[in-house]
Structure 1
Amino acid sequence: MSTKEKPTLGGARIKTRKRNIAVPLDPSTFADAVVQIYLEHEGDLELIAKDIEASDLDFSRYGDTFFEVVFTGGRNQPGTTKPEEGDQQPYSVLNREATRQSILPYVLYLQKIIRRRPFLIKNLENVMKRLLQSLELYDGDDRRKLAIFTALTFSQKLSGLPPETIFSALLSDSLVAKGTVLGFVTDAFKEFLAENSLDDLISLLKRAKMEDRLLDFFPMQKRTPEAFADHFSKEGLGVLVDYNMKKVFDVKLKELRTTLTDQISANADLAEVIDMVKQRRKEASLPDVDVVRAIWDAIMDAVQWSGKNQQQNVNLALRQVKTWATLLGAFCTTAKLEIDLLYKIQVHCYEDAKLMKLFPEIVRALYDQDVLAEDTVLLWFRKGTNTKGRQTFVKSLEPFVKWLEEAEEEE
């Protein structure tokens, strides 16, 4: 019987599983180190930035702590403005004056830091969100500093900061109810518009998904267009008032057009439709010219296009115009409104290939039902200024105009 030993693999090592060793968080030591850099350079942000960039501090682990030092001078006790134990530096954002000149250098300083460490933008977002959610803990002067800082971060296009997070952080019921949020956004809007256009502000609000929610910044009892206009007019932000008025106007006009389309599609009673339009016009103070345009759009929107037979489509559209011409006539009551309607029809027929050949028939139908006067048609034919498809339409309308002119001569 063989006494040989079983072969073994020479040099084989038995691996032991490593345990995840938890390194204790030590934000206090990190904060003290950052504070010392501030103190060494006596608040000189250029020198501080250089030392921050050259340091081996663990920003990936303590990014939030870094921004707490930037804003408040040190670490704060959670949910308060009281400092935690540890060093404090007096060169923080909230220790500056509430002016653009004092706050802007801090925004530019953070731009440098974040360019070298892009991951820090998330930490800035976290800290700003906490600060804005705790606005009631700060006095009016500190809130204004935060508003200026917030406006400048977007004005200077601080890379990657999401406006939707910043603005949504303000929509706390208690903060809104006290008027704290309205004061904050007013200061922020004024600062932003100091060097940016209204279009820039609207673009920012769209990115923040707040373009249609500006009244949400107002206490519940003041969420009216009148309160909006009164507040921002007093604050010197008339451009914002004008924008909101147009926004409200557009919404009312769109609602009118939608309702009209539904009623026309359902062949509602003409008298009831006219009464509804008059009531909406009065309630929303809608100009007659916009009402007439909305009626025309609704008439066209309600056409049930078949999409198959071109002639059938043309007949449907013309029938719709003839059926609801009286509705147009009820509001198209002046020569000025008539010529505007004719321009509206011209542009519509030019932009919709299905209607190009229908233009003269529409004009004739509206003339027959006393919506368009003879003088209006002749004025458009001889002196019309809108160039969209004009040559084609003038040529197609020549036989009707010739008939009008001959009738005029006979009279």
Structure 2
Amino acid sequence: MLAPGGTLSDDLTRTEFCLFTAQEDLETMQAYAQVFNKLIRRYKYLEKGFEEEIKKLLLFLKGFTESERNKLAMLTGILLANGNISASILNSLYNENLVKEGVSAAFAVKLFKSWIHEKDINSVAGSLRKVGMDNRLLELFPANKRSCEHFSKYFTDAGLKELSDFARNQQAIGSRKELQKDLQEQMERGDAFKDIIASAREEMKKNNISEQTMIGIVWTSVMSYVEWNKKEELVTEQAIKHLKQYSPLLKAFTSQGASEILLLVKMQEYCYDNIHFMNSFQKIVVLLYKADVLSEEAILKWYTEAHVAKGRKSESEEEEAD
């Protein structure tokens, strides 16, 4: 079909069994997908070649009519849902010309609709994560429209709110990871706490991050940039010294009771997940209580109702022993 230079050849005779001459509806596309599915299952060697051909077709979407693109999008969505092709084929949609002319976004609407109709948003999310494309959905739009707000409106208006929510969530996760990385770099540079706190508060405001979310990020950052001693009897002393130094940073983001509770839960999970810290929890709680990071009320609430199950027994025994 493709002539040199990427144009579509008109010299070839089109078979009557052609996707582009079929009816433009999901049921018809499902029938075509079933044919491809049976062929690939019977002749496994066709799988790789078929995927490569799909990639090529997506690169030259501008050569097709709108109706032909819609049919190809629906079929591609069904094939993705059935696992006949990898989500890596979507890389073709990030072609600059396709994005610039709005072809990629319009194609994606039909594709994701048929994919979600066949499976659900979890199938989409899992496949995109597998090929590292879960954070690239915004790239379906040109740079001047590449915002979470524009993406959300475009796909919500098209009836794909679940995809909009997924993209928004991925953006939030990406922002939090970037913030955590920035915090660690600031700590490694030895920046003053007042500067780190000011920078973090600015990010909270800019990205609409709650204090509860921020204290989780700060805790992870504080605990991640240290190389901990592997000996249990030494790591507690190291942790106490380290957290005493960074307690002002933790205190800055525990002005609410809910933030204190969340910090306690994060501490509990960390001490449980990192076996060398199993006996450090109680001493860390005492340290942060004395540093005015944690209140007695928050500790009691965590103890009676807000704790998580893992590590609960050993940590409760520590608290009772104290």
Determine helix, strand or coil for the equivalent of 2:178: helix
Query: Does 2:83 match 1:83?
Result: no
Distance 1:195 1:208 in 2: 20
1:314 aligns with 2:236: yes
* 1:263 alignment partner in structure 2: 186
CA distance in 2, matches of 1:222, 1:316: 48
| Runs of 5+ consecutive residues of structure 2 not aligned to the other structure | none
- The equivalent residue for 1:237 is 160
CA drift of 1:128 comes to 3.0
How far 1:188 moved relative to its partner? 0.4
Q: Distance in 2 between matches of 1:361 and 1:77?
A: 72
Which is further off, 338-347 or 276-285? 338-347
Return the match for 2:38 from 93, 98, 112. 112
1:355 is matched with which residue: 257, 271, 277?
277
- Cα deviation for residue 310 of structure 1 reads 3.8
Which residue is 2:289 aligned to?
367
Q: Cα deviation per residue 1:72-122 (whole Å; 9 max; x = unaligned)?
A: xxxx76644553265x54442111121111222222223334444444445
Distance 1:156-1:316 versus aligned 2 partners, 3 A rule: closer
Deviation at 1:195, TM superposition (A): 2.0
Task: Report what 2:215 is aligned to.
Answer: 292
Of 262-271 and 193-202, the range deviating more from structure 2? 262-271
- Alignment deviations for residues 330-389 of structure 1 (CA, whole Å, 9 cap, x no partner): 110122221221122122122222222222221111111211112222333344542222
Larger displacement relative to structure 2 (121-130 or 318-327): 121-130
Q: Does the alignment pair 1:137 with 2:59?
A: no
User: Contact 1:152–1:191 at 8 Å: present in 2 too?
Assistant: yes
Contact 1:94 1:142 in 2 (8 A): yes
Deviations 1:301-333 (A, max 9, x none): 2334243x5433221210111111121111101
User: Could you tell me how far apart the structure 2 residues matched to 1:290 and 1:216 are?
Assistant: 27
1:306/1:355 CA distance change after superposition, 3 Å: closer
As a proportion of its length, which structure holds more helix?
2
Q: Deviations over 1:208-257 (max 9, x none)?
A: 44222212221222111121111111111111111111111112211222
CA RMSD of aligned residues (A): 2.3
Q: Please give the per-residue CA displacement for 1:377-409, whole angstroms capped at 9, x wherever unaligned.
A: 233334454222223222222355xxxxxxxxx
In the other structure, the counterpart of 1:276 is 199
User: CA offsets, 1:246-300, max 9 Å, x none?
Assistant: 1111122112222222333443211111111111111111121110111111221
1:304–1:316 CA contact under 8 A, matched in 2? no
| Secondary structure of 2:209 counterpart | coil
- State which of 112, 116, 123 in structure 2 corresponds to 1:200: 123
> Counterpart of 2:251 in structure 1: which amino acid?
G
Structure 1's unaligned 5+ residue stretches are: 1-67, 69-75, 401-411
Q: Distance in 2 between matches of 1:320 and 1:201?
A: 42
Q: How many residues align?
A: 321
For 2:12 and 2:114, the matched residues in 1 are separated by 35
TM-score if structure 2 supplies the norm length?
A: 0.90
* Equivalent-residue separation in structure 1 for 2:120 and 2:45 (angstroms): 30
For 1:136 and 1:342, the matched residues in 2 are separated by: 55
Kept after mapping to 2: 8 A contact 1:167/1:208: no
How many Å separate the matches in 2 of 1:210 and 1:383?
39
Determine which of 306, 310, 322 is the counterpart of 1:388. Answer: 310
Aligned partner letter, 1:331: F
One-letter amino acid matched to 1:352: N
2:255 aligned with 1:336? no
Q: Is residue 228–residue 238 contact of structure 2 (8 Å, CA) maintained in 1?
A: yes
Aligned ranges 1:26-105 → 2 under 5 Å: 79-81=6-8, 83-84=10-11, 88-105=14-31
Work out whether residues 134 and 170 of structure 2, in 8 Å CA contact, stay in contact via their aligned partners in 1: no
1:377 aligns with 2:307: no
8 Å Cα contact 2:80-2:86 kept in structure 1 = no
Distance across 2 between alignment mates of 1:356 and 1:233? 46
Alpha-carbon distance in structure 2 between the residues aligned to 1:162 and 1:389: 40
Q: CA separation in 1, counterparts of 2:102 and 2:140?
A: 8
Paired position in structure 2 for 1:182? 105
Q: SS at 2:24's partner residue?
A: coil
Counterparts of 1:140-155 in structure 2 under 5 Å?
140-155=66-81
1:172 lines up with 2:95 in the alignment:
yes
Deviation at 1:130, TM superposition (A): 3.6
Look at both structures and tell me which one has the larger radius of gyration over its CA atoms.
Answer: 1
* C-alpha distance in structure 1 between counterparts of 2:276 and 2:92, whole Å: 50
SS in 2 for 1:371: coil
For 1:391 and 1:122, locate their aligned partners in 2 and report how far apart those are by CA, in whole Å. Answer: 52
SS of the residue aligned with 1:108? Answer: helix
Q: Which runs of 4+ in 1 moved over 4 A?
A: 76-82
Relative contact order higher in (CA < 8 Å, ≥ 6 apart): 2
Question: Offset of 1:126 from its aligned partner?
Answer: 4.7
Q: Distance in 1 between matches of 2:51 and 2:113?
A: 22
Q: Distance in 1 between matches of 2:16 and 2:47?
A: 24
Alpha-carbon distance change, 250 to 162 in structure 1, aligned in 2, over 3 angstroms: closer
